[in-house]
Chain A
């Protein structure tokens, strides 16, 4: 097809598989680290607040490819031989935790203060108030921006090409070297990225509209 064999397209699909794997690892890691970051950002403790804020600003101030390099080469200096997948997953975790932390902090703060107060007046403890009153409401608010950020994660996994991780972008690059059909191959890669991301942004948009209608 267009001078590229079915097997060669299959090679791209293989790359796409690893793009999805890395995206999921980045998202899960980003959730595990990002949720505590969000909580620390809204905490009243001076220390937690400062540390988490510094973390977010630090990570957001560094381009993702540089984070990839630092993790990949930085870690091997200490004698650990990290493979590209582990390094890329760690880098994606750092990156997405900083952004998800900020997104979720905003969602928690978007729940009206009067909801905290209502819980307080019913003698709920602060942990109970958070779990039963604030969190369920914040989660609903959080779905659209979180799914939207998932799209960013998918696209940004392509930076892992700098440390030689085999993903969709990398497989397209190899294929191009073998076939010299850059337009066909990178267009195919682009379409696959789009096919992964489009349903996500569609879903985020639909959910957002539904929320707005509920609140109207």
Chain B
């Protein structure tokens, strides 16, 4: 397990009275054909909170995450993200996508564009930034992920860790209210995971609302205000990071014990 030292310490944000959740699952169901993958998920993520989804392979973590930005359509229940009900008649998927960033395990950078062009494509085409504005924006977000000197490189010239940080910068350039991360360090060599986790940790410290799927237990414990253990398509146990030290269920105890 990677141990990371962070420059900034994240102070957990307690849900404020009256604040609307940024993400709210209510009895959410999702099936692929006959296979029911989410069997009634309930989950609230408040503004500024960091939620970490953990659990065994196939438990539905990625599916839950992909539902949040509409990559998967839910079959039952209610899902509200950034105040938008995803099943409402007047729901606008593109409007939601402007507010929710997502980073995948496999970076998915645009190989034919430079780092700077990767970062500024959506701000220019979607938000209408001009050349000068988008250049300044690229400089800002690349600085945030520590890659100021790579603006003119192509993705293939970068290490996996650097590519993943560019992917994060590309999302940040849309100024999202919510960031989703799906096992963003799983494809990386162990010595490269630290640099990516540090960037995410810094975002958390800066108050970004995040939902992340991770296998990095130490990291989840450290940055997450809410750890969510998923098992067989359900939220099996949820609580603060300390929950991992004192599991209430047999399944979580086994999961923690297995060292995953």
Contacts and interface: CB of A to CB of B under 8 A. Distances in A.
B106 A114 contact: yes
A137 interface: yes
Interface stretch (B15-23, B118-126, B144-152, B192-200): B118-126
A213 to B, nearest CB: 11
A62 interface: no
B156 A123 contact: no
B112 A122 contact: no
A118 B110 contact: yes
A117 interface: yes
Contact of B108 (A117, A125, A128, A136): A117
Contacts of A114: 104, 106, 108
A14 B111 CA distance: 45
A122 B125 CA distance: 10
Contacts of B110: 115, 118, 133, 137
Contact of A122 (B71, B111, B122, B156): B122
B134 to A, nearest CB: 13
Given A118-B110, A137-B111, A124 B104 contact: no
Given A132-B121, A132-B125, A122 B174 contact: yes
B110 to A, nearest CB: 6
A1 interface: no
Interface in B54-87: 69, 71
B102 interface: yes
Contacts of B156: 214
A72 B174 CA distance: 57
A46 to B, nearest CB: 21
Nearest to A123: B97
Nearest to A136: B112
Contact of B112 (A121, A123, A137): A137
A216 to B, nearest CB: 10
A214 B108 CA distance: 17
Interface size band for B:
20 to 34
Nearest to B103: A121
A121 B126 contact: no
Contact of B121 (A121, A122, A125, A214): A122
Interface in A123-142: 123-125, 128, 132-133, 136-137, 140
Contact of A128 (B69, B71, B104, B125): B125
Contacts of A137: 110-112
A132 B156 CA distance: 18
Given A132-B121, A214-B156, A121 B106 contact: no
Interface size band for A:
10 to 19
Interface in A87-134: 114-115, 117-118, 120-125, 128, 132-133
B253 interface: no
A124 B108 CA distance: 15
A128 B112 CA distance: 15
A123 B106 contact: no
A117 B71 contact: yes
A123 B69 CA distance: 11
Interface in A116-173: 117-118, 120-125, 128, 132-133, 136-137, 140
A121 B102 contact: yes
Contacts of B170: 122
B69 A124 contact: no
Interface of B: 69, 71, 94, 97-98, 101-102, 104, 106, 108-112, 121-122, 125-126, 156, 170-171, 174
Interface of A: 114-115, 117-118, 120-125, 128, 132-133, 136-137, 140, 214
10 contacts: A114-B104, A114-B106, A118-B110, A120-B97, A121-B69, A121-B71, A121-B97, A137-B111, A137-B112, A214-B156
Q: Can you list the 9 inter-chain pairs with the closest CB atoms, starting with the nearest?
A: A122-B122, A123-B97, A118-B108, A123-B98, A136-B112, A114-B108, A123-B126, A121-B102, A128-B125
